[in-house]
Structure 1
Amino acid sequence: MKRIKHSFAMGVIYGLGISIFFSLISGTGHYYPLSPESTMGHWYLSHVNEAFTMLISVVIWGSIGILFDQVNRIFEETDWSITRMTVIHFVVSYVGFVPLAILAGWFPLQLGAFFTFTFIFVLIYIVIWVYHYKQSQKIVDEINQSITHQAD
């Protein structure tokens, strides 16, 4: 339960930071927890008040934090190959994240926006995966080097 609370809080912190960043660069001088041009942004801002829109956003951001924390447990399965873990992690992350991103109002429900979102998701996923792979490889190399020196 502690891990879920922590991942929820981290999701909220990241979501809030991202929403502040995009509100600042929008140049309107207003804060929006989600894009007012997105499909969900239009719906939320026309059907519920700003405080409830913020509450919805906080719950979604927290859910995103929980999602990404929980899918990382896939890499704790030691009987699987790294390829299998990566493919399953990617699919579960993407399938779980897309509806949350739509509800978070991060892009309009348009095919072009969906493809752009998917491209950005894949690009970020690859960058993060390569970084973690390199870090893991460095640790393995250090362990192997340590074992080699102990054997000598």
Structure 2
Amino acid sequence: MLKKVLQRVGVGIVVGTFIGLMLSIHYSFNFAEGSYIPSTPAFIAHFPNELYALIASIGIWSAMGCVFSLSNLIYSETDWSILKMTSINFAVSYLSFLPLAILAGWTSWELGVLFDFTLTFSTIYIIIWLSSMLKAKKEIETLNRHLDHNK
């Protein structure tokens, strides 16, 4: 189990950092007028320069990746219902991601902003969950056809 957790942490760091970097490049193109900024101006203002802000951003992005990578271990608990696994995964993911998103300057504790963030998070979660369920259903159907063919 420790090996599986360490693998998930490694994947989470790499994927989280990559996604964070891509988002920062997108944000820079759209809002920084040709300059690179790793996060929001409010976040960057907490640091003496952009390099320190980038290092902090990488740490936050890595932690975000680990949150989602490790929270998926919940689905390896095979005697739970899909509803229970999904509910626990959603709660763990949301409650772990929210403080990191606030720390990164992506959202705040303001009620309206927090509501919008929660709505966006939930929508993305549902889309990913539905995609995963459809993929799993397709794989099960393929395996069943293969088993029926071998009878």
Fold match by TM threshold 0.5: yes
| 1:19 aligns with one of 17, 24, 47 | 24
1:83 maps to what in 2? Answer: 83
Q: Is the 8 A contact 1:74 1:85 kept in 2?
A: yes
* In structure 2, C-alpha distance between the alignment counterparts of 1:69 and 1:11, rounded to whole Å: 9
In the TM superposition, what whole-angstrom CA distance separates every residue of 1:90-118 from its partner, at most 9, and x where no partner exists? 00000000000111111244222111111
Give the stretch that moved more between structures: 124-133 or 22-31.
Answer: 22-31
Give the stretch that moved more between structures: 89-98 or 7-16.
Answer: 7-16
Q: Is the 8 A contact 1:20 1:31 kept in 2?
A: yes
* In structure 2, C-alpha distance between the alignment counterparts of 1:69 and 1:34, rounded to whole Å: 22
Q: TM-score w.r.t. structure 1 length?
A: 0.88
Higher relative contact order (CA 8 A, sep 6+): 1
2:9 maps to what in 1? Answer: 4
1:30 maps to what in 2? Answer: 35
Unaligned runs of 5+ in 1: none
In the TM superposition, what whole-angstrom CA distance separates every residue of 1:12-65 from its partner, at most 9, and x where no partner exists? 11101111111111252222211125xxx2xx4155322211111110000001
Shift of 1:144: 1.6
* Secondary structure of residue in 2 paired with 1:65: helix
* In structure 1, C-alpha distance between the alignment counterparts of 2:89 and 2:7, rounded to whole Å: 22
1:56 maps to what in 2? Answer: 56
Give the stretch that moved more between structures: 28-37 or 112-121.
Answer: 28-37
After TM superposition, which residue ranges in structure 1, 4 or more long, deviate above 4 angstroms? none
* In structure 1, C-alpha distance between the alignment counterparts of 2:14 and 2:109, rounded to whole Å: 28
Shift of 1:123: 0.5
2:101 maps to what in 1? Answer: 101
Unaligned runs of 5+ in 2: 1-5
Q: TM-score w.r.t. structure 2 length?
A: 0.88
| Alignment RMSD | 1.6
| Structure 1 pair 27–51 and aligned structure 2 pair: CA distance change class (3 A) | closer
Instruction: State the one-letter code of the partner of 2:52.
Output: F
1:45 maps to what in 2? Answer: 45
| Structure 1 pair 139–126 and aligned structure 2 pair: CA distance change class (3 A) | same
> Percentage identity across aligned positions?
38
2:124 maps to what in 1? Answer: 124
